[in-house]
Copies of this chain bind each other. A is one copy, B any other.
Amino acid sequence: MSSGGIFVIFLLACGAAAATGVIFKPGTWYEALKKPAWTPAKWVFPVVWTTLYILMAWAASRIAVLPENGVAMAFFAAQLALNTLWTPVFFGAHRIGLGLVVLVTLVVVVALTVRAFFAIDWIAGFVMLPYLAWLGVAAALNFWIWRHNGRAVS
């Protein structure tokens, strides 16, 4: 299969993660939470996430056709599963503390994914950097919300 075909499969994979954002909406529960002044506007999230999913599918499809990609592909699968997990934990189950645990784990696994990508193809690694940066913002936001809304670990 061509690199383009593999890109489409990775887009489908990211689509499964992206679907969580459609199925588990913020809603009134999230509206009522205390949030920091620097919380991005609501419209920013779907725009940023759509962009990031396309970029990560592209990066992964570059890595997928290169030799010695085992570690990189394993980390990519792990980060995508963790990414799919966060939204239902936070917005579905309303478990802010557990969401923070998932998100911090995700940041670490994405950092390892980026390192593994850079080791094979610097363009693929570079393309993943906005995702890692955004996760930093998301983790800071999740942490702030946890800290100012009861600090429950659940």
In contact, A9 and B85 (Cβ under 8 angstroms)? no
Judge whether A54 is part of the interface by a CB distance below 8 angstroms. Answer: no
Taking a contact as CB atoms under 8 Å apart, the answer to whether B10 and A74 are in contact is: yes
- The SS class assigned to the A binding surface is helix
Interface window among A89-97, A120-128, A142-150 = A89-97
Chain B neighbourhood of A14, CB < 8 A: 81
Query: What CA separation (Å) do A102 and B16 show in the bound complex?
Result: 9
Q: Mark A64-103, 1 if CB is under 8 A from B, else 0.
A: 1101011101111110111111001100110100100010
CB distance from A66 to the nearest CB of B (A): 8
A138 CB-CB contact with B under 8 Å: no
Known A82-B16, A93-B92; judge A64-B60 contact (CB<8 A).
no
Are B24's CB and A74's CB within 8 A? no
- With a cutoff of 8 Å between Cβ atoms, the chain B residues found around residue A84 in the complex are 16, 81, 84-85
When distances are taken between beta carbons in the complex, the residues of chain B under 8 Å from A23 are: 88-89, 93, 95, 98
Which of B65, B71, B74, B80 is close to A81, meaning CB atoms less than 8 Å apart?
Answer: B80
26 residue pairs of the A-B complex, CB under 8 angstroms, read: A1-B70, A1-B71, A6-B71, A9-B78, A16-B78, A16-B85, A16-B102, A17-B81, A19-B85, A24-B88, A24-B92, A64-B73, A65-B70, A69-B69, A73-B73, A73-B76, A73-B77, A76-B77, A77-B77, A80-B81, A81-B83, A81-B84, A84-B84, A84-B85, A88-B89, A92-B93
